[in-house]
Amino acid sequence: MVNISKVQQAAVLLFARQGFAATGIRELGGAAGINSATIYHYAGSKEELLVQVMRSCLDEMITSGAAAMRISAEPTIQLAALVSSHVGFTATNPLTARVAEYEMRALSPDNRTAMQKLRDDYESLFAQVVERGIRVGDFSTDDATMARLALMEMGTGVAHWYRPDGRLTLIEVQHNFVAMACKILSANQTMLDGIDYIRPPVVVASEPTGTSVTISG
């Protein structure tokens, strides 16, 4: 229970830095402080290790996102909660999130299908909010799809630069992104006044701790 996280954290750290394909199983063992053969006690293969990490990451994103949407029936508040959740998760688990995003291509067809399904489920949360906001007249945009994609891309980008000890607190970043999202969708930001739509983000087991790594590219 404690060791498996160590392995997953080592995996995420190295996969994020170098990519799945460029990371060897021996390297993983070394980073986790165990013999490389021992990894096969925790995961049947290198790919399964990646799948474990991706699945728990996407599961948590979906769970948090769905919970965020349940705090209100108002599209604008749902949008704020969802964007906050997304940005919060991404900023809190930057390496895991990055791996879950980048390494889809490393999966074999079966696993890829399964993981893509989870990602699609997650993205559909955004699609639902945007679509309903437009339908009820709270949002307005030239192109709903493009707006949604831009929204997510932006939020995901947080993983590239956010640092807990940086210039801005996480909450500031979240508010900022909510503001940008509202602008993009021409939503009325004042609807959010006095609403506490931010939930503290979960730290997933696979996220390395104490590593302030700079990942380039």
Partner DNA sequence: CATGAATGAGTTTTCATTCAT
Partner DNA sequence: CATGAATGAAAACTCATTCAT
Contacting positions for a copy of itself (CB under 8 A)? 17-22, 101-106, 112, 116, 142-143, 145-147, 149-150, 152-154, 156-157, 160-161, 167-168, 172-173, 175-177, 179-180, 183-184, 186, 215-217
Q: If DSSP states are collapsed to H, E and C, what string results for the chain? A: CCHHHHHHHHHHHHHHHHCCCCCCHHHHHHHHCCCHHHHHHHCCCHHHHHHHHHHHHHHHHHHHHHHHHCCCCCHHHHHHHHHHHHHHHHHHCHHHHHHHHHHHHHCCHHHHHHHHHHHHHHHHHHHHHHHHHHHCCCCCCCCHHHHHHHHHHHHHCHHHHCCCCCCCCHHHHHHHHHHHHHHHCCCCHHHHCCCCCCCCCCCCCCCCCCCCCCCCC
C-alpha distance across the termini of the chain, in Å: 33
194's contact among a copy of itself, DNA, none, with CB below 5 to 8 A by partner kind, is: none
Residue 38, interface with DNA (CB under 7 A)? yes
Least distance (Å) between residue 118 CB and DNA: 22
Residue 31, interface with DNA (CB under 7 A)? no
**70 vs 161, beta carbon nearer a copy of itself:** 161
Residue 19, interface with DNA (CB under 7 A)? no
Residue 52, interface with DNA (CB under 7 A)? no
**13 vs 125, beta carbon nearer DNA:** 13
**70 vs 166, beta carbon nearer a copy of itself:** 166
**37 vs 171, beta carbon nearer DNA:** 37
- Assess contact for 151 and 184: CB atoms under 8 A: yes
**47 vs 131, beta carbon nearer DNA:** 47
The one among 27, 101, 121, 123 contacting DNA by CB under 7 A: 27
Residue 23, interface with DNA (CB under 7 A)? yes
Residue 121, interface with DNA (CB under 7 A)? no
> CA 10 to CA 28: how far, in whole Å?
6
Q: Count of residues binding DNA (CB under 7 A)?
A: 17
Q: Give the interface with DNA as residue ranges (CB under 7 A).
A: 3, 23-27, 34-38, 40-41, 44-47
